[in-house]
Structure 1
Amino acid sequence: MILRARICALTVLALTACLLAVVELQAQSRDPLDDIVGLWKAKRRFGPDARGPLLIQRNGTTYTADMMGFTVPVTVSNGELSFELPNREAGFRGKLVGNVIRALWFSSPLGELGAATPVILLPKGPNGWLGQVVPLEDTQTFYLLVTRRPDGTLAAFLRNLERDYGGLLGVRGVIRTGNAIALVGGRAQARDTVLITGTYDSAQRVITLNFPDRGGSYDFRIDDPQSDFYPRSRTPGRYVYRVPPALDDGWATASVDQVGIDRAGIERAVQQIVDMSMDSINAPQVHALLIARNGKLVLEEYFHGTHRDALHNERSAGKSVSATIIGAAMLAGAPIRLSTPVYQVMNGGTFPADLEPRKRAMTLEHLMTMSSGYFCDDNNDDAPGNENGMWERQSDFYKFTLGLPMAFAPGDTAIYCSINPNLALGMVGRAAGESPFFLFDRLVATPLGITHYAWPLDRARNPYGGGGMALVTRDFMKFGQLMLDGGTWHGRRILSAEFVRRAGSPLKKIGNRDYGLLWWPQAFTVGNHTVRGFAALGNGGQIVMVFPELQLVVATNGGSYGSRGWRFVGGELISSFILPAVRTSH
């Protein structure tokens, strides 16, 4: 009996040794490249940390602000209240309107780039006002998809949710050498170069990559099949249409059937997005799709983790927001017209001495049609007025623009350049004697029910009118409905009918495309019929498309900033899926 037990024990030891040997051989033969095949995700938050309740109190003619445990004096000047937090972390600028303080919160110190968000402080006691500071969150999210090519090497592409940094880099592959990782590729297709380097920790299964232009190192971990990398998970089901909810934001809602839109056609459109393959950097990144007809919101769908309350950078579609502010100020009586000279207004009412004739002839309309004549071109890095160069090096964008050299006579040539609408916005602020912040709040945001937004700032804390405002998509769409209704929102006139007509009309050519007053005229062929409209267009798929003859507004947000995916959002999605579903007889 004892002998049999010993034999069994020896047998078990032998089998265990064999199994261990097999495992060791498998480990030795395993290709280390397999360890990094898959979908990886990294996310970092960069602040801002100044946030929370803000209490302003009045004692006679003086004010103090209490926030985050700090009590600071409030400056009162020209009817405005302002203060800076200690250590120059953030700042505040507001007005007492009735018994409410309406204000902007600056998330960065004066002299640095940042964003402004609205703050409303309601009465608290006889001499106090209380509100909540909610700054624009600065986060960066990366996805790295690594796959095997037929030749055994690793293909890869990098997706950045907020800015499409991977598309801008042109990542095409990964090289692993021991624990060293390199992302390779480039915008040029001829050959791969090393773009990003990092390491792989096999014990923790973490890829660490360094992105100097995006805040430093990021730790990537394997993501799950429900990842927001996909429109709606890796294995989405069949989409079934649902009516959007009616909220307290000014939108009435209805079903697509009630407004003459084919339900099956709309389900096919959304299913096309849901099923979109994400195996290429050029795969369209649709974050939101909304449709309104006859003034009613009938479709509201979000993808890639975006949601109803999320602010989305509207990029150059913000130029059309600037047009709305300018038109609203005109209607409200600001002493400015499309024919008003730029330099006369920006110099306080008189032309600067020795101003060259071409600058003397420049008007607001020239700025709004991109035909100012400035030597500026957003597609030419060598142009003195190039937008990217301005953001990198300049403090006061208005002062910088006014000093630029001229390349053409005003009105002769239209070239796409974002300094033009930015100066136009500054011009209307100077003419009205009121910051564009407060013009927007008073004349546009309040009547449209827009309370949640973020506005990019130059280093002098001027609001940037050339694009980049962040809005929730339901509010973004309101600018299209306002234009469709001839400048009114729920019966309240905000823009003149003539301004709306000119804004959406072809006034100039930029290249071979028509341009109005910071809006783009559009035409789509559906069957044998041409459907005309106009649009606010922003890089990456930020679109508000207006079709007057169909009483239709379509709004999209997207993330294809550095890749070709935006062409689907502004093209095939509209022409092949949405417009064919709209019945013209309704």
Structure 2
Amino acid sequence: MRALGVKVLSACSVAVCGVAQGNLAAQTERQAEAPVDWEGIWVAERSFGPDLKGPVVLQSSGDGWAARIQGESVPVEQTTQEDGTRRWAFSVLGQGYFIGHQSAAGEAITGHWYQPPGKVQNYPFASPVRIMPAGNDAFSGTIRPFPQTLSLNIPLMPESGDSGDDPTRYRTFLRNPERNIGVFFRVVTATVDGDEIQFKNTDGDVRFTGNSVVPGRQFSLRLRRGGDVFDFTRRSRRGAVGFYPRRSPEAPPALLQPVQTDDGWRTASPAETGLNVELLSDMVSGLATFEPTGLRKPYIHGLLIAHRGKLVVEEYFHGFDRDTPHDSRSAGKSIASALLGVALERGLVSSIDEPVYSFFGGVEAFANPDPRKEQMTLRHLVTMSPGFECDDGNSETRGNEDTMQSQSEQPDWYRYTLDLPMVAEPGAKDAYCTAGINLIGGALKAKTGMSLPRFFHESFAEPLDIDHYYMNLSPKYEGYMGGGIRLRPRDFMKLGQLYLDGGVWNGKRLVSEDWVNASAAPHSSLNTEDDYGFAWWRQEYEVNGKIIDTYFASGNGGQMTFVVPELELVVQFNAGNYSDGRTRGRWRDRLMGEFILPAAVN
């Protein structure tokens, strides 16, 4: 066959072969000049550790105890505490440390793994670890640190449907489900120029530039000068799980009853508890088939509904699921309030009218002495009225949360806050002050003699059947009560059910009914008149001519836990509309006012 090929080729006339070769060259030139098609969804994903994780074994040796993890062996320190419990501790250089407690010899060791700040979330975390007896003189457990991952989604869409459009110019935006850093870059167009892709904002300014590695198939970029490189590849809908609500564009056929697990929730179908299934199905179908065409669109990660004590709706979107702890942002402030209620119920704090500075050694130990500081109580902290120069809505105030967290002169955030000057009598001025709520954690630590992760775990997490979470910490490795703890949606929702049931979860009382009622009552006016209780927001909805009272925990991005006593409802939202209060306010009120509440109103 090769000979035949050669013979035919040699028989080709010069004229014919010349024309054919010329046509081939022209075709190749046209293909080279034709613009590459970049339309589609481009995704980059990176993991920044931590490296240390997995099984850990504590084992006795002739010289004491050692912890073995990933082939390394480090010494374990044991001490007996005043309350008779045994404290266990070990550290792995550069990776973190463990502190746990054991009530009696031979029993499980319960504690936390403390990991240092990472590249994605630049503050420490504490995650629970339970180390169980594993034979003679040995214990075994698993370290599950917070994963430092970042995913970026960039759609490249034709500027319009006109055939005369510039084929190298696209509409675009940047989304990242974990934090949505695209809100700060605000790119709206992408222009391909040779092997570069320039991303520009509405003013035409280039915010960052990508370099094509394989035209139309891969490009790389740095979001900031000197930052990490992200490699983007084009994905199908099934591969862009963080961008689209679901892999399939089809509406789900029906609402499925949530799975029954061992986490304390009883489950049922919405029909079993008397909810309007058609309304709820329409809502979930709309969320599942939503096409994300812009930055300021609803990005709901999870929607859960409990009715009459049973979990009846559990739906996840954009790649999130039941077992992934979600950032709570300021919704975590309601947990700080609940912990204060727990301390009151257990007699660890006598009253919320105890003076704040009495927990920290007195007013004289801090800067900016002021007689008004003597009058400040825990009540003022939990109602956002301490009188500090502190307002998260005003970046000029020294107590502003971003100001406190970005400064490095004072890593002790309790002292930073207590040093603030006063601008009003406690109780006389309402202003959203995260630093003040965080002081509740310091007061609880002082009263209980426990670290906040330990107090949280023993008094809140364990009674509520919660065993997987990440508590964010201050630079001094103190639990941060201003918000941000990461809990699985089913677990955070238990806070709402606890309050709906008057302070009881599955027969276990954590807070008093009086505390629940006081928490939901009006105490402050932050955005509108009487819209804030004890770190819970209050809102009314009109449904079928009827006014329905609700109160809810709320955090940036759309992290909300609604309690609706009149309808025996608890609703959990998790979402990614960070730094976009207008968008999340719109979808919150539409979903609650047009679907969820009407589904429960007879």
Question: TM-score by structure 2 length?
Answer: 0.90
Which residue of structure 2 aligns with residue 181 of structure 1?
197
1:197 aligns with 2:201: no
Report the RMSD for the aligned CA atoms in angstroms: 2.6
Deviation of 1:155 after TM superposition, in Å, equals 1.4
8 Å contact from structure 2 (residues 114, 125) kept in 1 = yes
Give the counterpart letter for 1:91 in structure 2: Y
1:480 aligns with 2:496: yes
Deviation of 1:484 after TM superposition, in Å, equals 0.3
Among 265, 273, 284, the residue aligned to 1:259: 273
8 Å contact from structure 1 (residues 285, 565) kept in 2 = no
**Aligned pair in 2 of structure 1 residues 84, 238: CA closer, same or farther (>3 Å)?**
closer
8 Å contact from structure 1 (residues 429, 435) kept in 2 = yes
Which residue of structure 1 aligns with residue 233 of structure 2?
221
**Aligned pair in 2 of structure 1 residues 472, 8: CA closer, same or farther (>3 Å)?**
farther
Which residue of structure 2 aligns with residue 114 of structure 1?
124
Deviations along 1:174-214, one digit per CA (max 9) or x if unpaired, are 133322222211xxx6x232222231223583221112399
Deviation of 1:274 after TM superposition, in Å, equals 1.2
1:24 aligns with 2:40: no
Distance 2:345 2:364 in 1: 25
Among 391, 413, 426, the residue aligned to 2:405: 391
Distance 2:535 2:184 in 1: 26
Within 5 Å, which residues of 2 pair with 1:274-293? 274-293=288-307
Which residue of structure 2 aligns with residue 539 of structure 1?
556
Which residue of structure 2 aligns with residue 83 of structure 1?
90
Among 554, 561, 585, the residue aligned to 1:567: 585
Question: How many corresponding residue pairs?
Answer: 574
Distance 2:103 2:363 in 1: 32
Which residue of structure 1 aligns with residue 98 of structure 2?
92
Distance 1:431 1:519 in 2: 24
Give the counterpart letter for 2:75 in structure 1: P
Deviations along 1:301-359, one digit per CA (max 9) or x if unpaired, are 11111111111111111111111112112211203421011111122x78648942111
Which residue of structure 1 aligns with residue 509 of structure 2?
493
Distance 1:377 1:63 in 2: 49
**3-state SS, counterpart of residue 259 of structure 1:** coil
**Aligned pair in 2 of structure 1 residues 207, 331: CA closer, same or farther (>3 Å)?**
same
**3-state SS, counterpart of residue 510 of structure 1:** coil
1:376 aligns with 2:390: yes
Deviations along 1:210-240, one digit per CA (max 9) or x if unpaired, are 1239952101110112221110136233441
**Aligned pair in 2 of structure 1 residues 350, 96: CA closer, same or farther (>3 Å)?**
farther
Give the counterpart letter for 1:107 in structure 2: Q
1:160 aligns with 2:176: yes
Deviation of 1:109 after TM superposition, in Å, equals 7.2
8 Å contact from structure 2 (residues 331, 555) kept in 1 = yes
Which residue of structure 2 aligns with residue 512 of structure 1?
528
Deviations along 1:249-291, one digit per CA (max 9) or x if unpaired, are 1010111111111111111010110121211101110111110
Which residue of structure 1 aligns with residue 595 of structure 2?
577
Distance 2:378 2:264 in 1: 32
Distance 1:436 1:73 in 2: 25
Within 5 Å, which residues of 2 pair with 1:373-452? 373-394=387-408, 395-452=411-468
**3-state SS, counterpart of residue 143 of structure 1:** strand
Which residue of structure 2 aligns with residue 338 of structure 1?
352
Deviation of 1:28 after TM superposition, in Å, equals 4.8
**3-state SS, counterpart of residue 383 of structure 1:** coil
Among 40, 50, 53, the residue aligned to 2:52: 50
Which residue of structure 1 aligns with residue 329 of structure 2?
315
Identity of aligned residues (%): 34
Deviation of 1:295 after TM superposition, in Å, equals 0.5
Q: Which moved more, 1:350-359 or 1:141-150?
A: 350-359
Unmatched runs of 5 consecutive residues or more in structure 2: none
Deviation of 1:96 after TM superposition, in Å, equals 0.9
8 Å contact from structure 1 (residues 89, 107) kept in 2 = yes
Deviations along 1:50-95, one digit per CA (max 9) or x if unpaired, are 1111222456995432222222223345453222212x32111111
8 Å contact from structure 1 (residues 159, 281) kept in 2 = yes
Distance 2:587 2:144 in 1: 31
8 Å contact from structure 1 (residues 535, 544) kept in 2 = yes
Deviation of 1:245 after TM superposition, in Å, equals 1.2
Deviation of 1:157 after TM superposition, in Å, equals 0.3
Among 108, 133, 144, the residue aligned to 1:123: 133
Among 245, 257, 262, the residue aligned to 1:231: 245
Distance 1:361 1:279 in 2: 52
Deviation of 1:100 after TM superposition, in Å, equals 1.3
Within 5 Å, which residues of 2 pair with 1:132-143? 132-143=142-153
**Aligned pair in 2 of structure 1 residues 62, 337: CA closer, same or farther (>3 Å)?**
farther
Unmatched runs of 5 consecutive residues or more in structure 1: none
Give the counterpart letter for 2:258 in structure 1: P
Deviations along 1:28-53, one digit per CA (max 9) or x if unpaired, are 5523xx53322100000011111111
Which residue of structure 2 aligns with residue 503 of structure 1?
519
Q: Which moved more, 1:392-401 or 1:548-557?
A: 392-401
Which residue of structure 1 aligns with residue 286 of structure 2?
272
1:367 aligns with 2:375: no
Deviation of 1:115 after TM superposition, in Å, equals 1.0
Q: Which moved more, 1:217-226 or 1:201-210?
A: 201-210
Distance 1:238 1:62 in 2: 58
Distance 2:352 2:269 in 1: 41
Give the counterpart letter for 1:266 in structure 2: L
Give the counterpart letter for 2:428 in structure 1: D
**3-state SS, counterpart of residue 257 of structure 1:** coil
